[in-house]
Amino acid sequence: MRLLVFGATGQLAVALRASAPDALFLNRDAADLTAPETCAAAIHAAKPSVVINAAAYTAVDRAEEEEALATVINAAAPGAMARACAEASIPFLHVSTDYVFDGGGQRPWRPEDPTSPLNAYGRSKAAGEAAVRAAGGPHAILRTSWVFSATGRNFVTAMLELARKRDQLNVVDDQIGAPTSARAIGEALLKMAEAMIAGQGGGTYHFAGAPFVSWKSFARETFACSGQKVTVCGIPTSEYPTAAQRPLNSRLDCTSLEAEFGIRPPDWRVELAAVVEELI
């Protein structure tokens, strides 16, 4: 498999590099997502057998002020990648987010459910999905949620940092979803890529950890793994205002991914223990 990955230093790209060290990873110097034509040119030059887009604009709150930039990176660039892959008849795998949904109800979101994002970041990612589908080539869109790893800034690293300064934290407990390790996402993408090269699968899928949990419970499990003595108090979203509105229901139905690729939701608690051990 001649794998080309857009992204080099983000959580997912780092995880993919650990599992697929022979792949070609493109950083901003090699392919600037703010200039989508460079992404298409990179695909034509590399002649890969499959492409994974592991790069994105992920600053959810800042996107409220930079929606145009977020849309170029999260929609125009993936669209250019997907069109280049379609022209070469090679599979394109693109990572999306639970934030394309409005978070209503309590039922897990299915891949075929209509999207209705609440914030600029979600709108940019929904536009990216549409651009990938419109390209018309073999593709897979993998929506995931609450990504964590030992790399970069994420909920787990933020909690461990705060615990060094405070012994009590207020954490939102009415947003429900599933933490998902970057390592598990990377492994899922690689398995999907192999299958798609062989002509299997394609479309929109969900992949997230299990079981469902609140941010408060996620924080408590993080501290249980680290051995830090921190009291975590649950608060409603209304008491933790942010620039971007977050969905309350981020549950994802992952059954179609398991049915088509044999990939089951991983136990995020096992993944978390490994990440915390690496961090401390």
Q: What is the rounded CA–CA span in Å between residue 60 and residue 98? A: 12
Angle subtended at Cα 191 by Cα 266 and Cα 128, rounded to the nearest 5 degrees = 90
Q: Is 232 helix (H, G, I), strand (E, B) or coil?
A: strand
Which residue in the list 57, 121, 205, 240 is annotated as catalytic?
Answer: 121
Coil, strand or helix at 139: strand
Nearest to 50 by CA among 133, 135, 138, 128: 138
Closest among 197, 198, 200 to 2, alpha carbons compared: 197
57 is catalytic: no
Radius of gyration of the chain (CA): 18
Q: Please give the structure tokens belonging to residue 3.
A: 């794998």
Distance in Å from the first CA to the final CA of the chain: 35
- 54 within 8 A of 95, measured Cβ to Cβ: yes
Omega within 30 of 0 (cis) for the link into 211: yes
Residues annotated catalytic, as ranges:
121
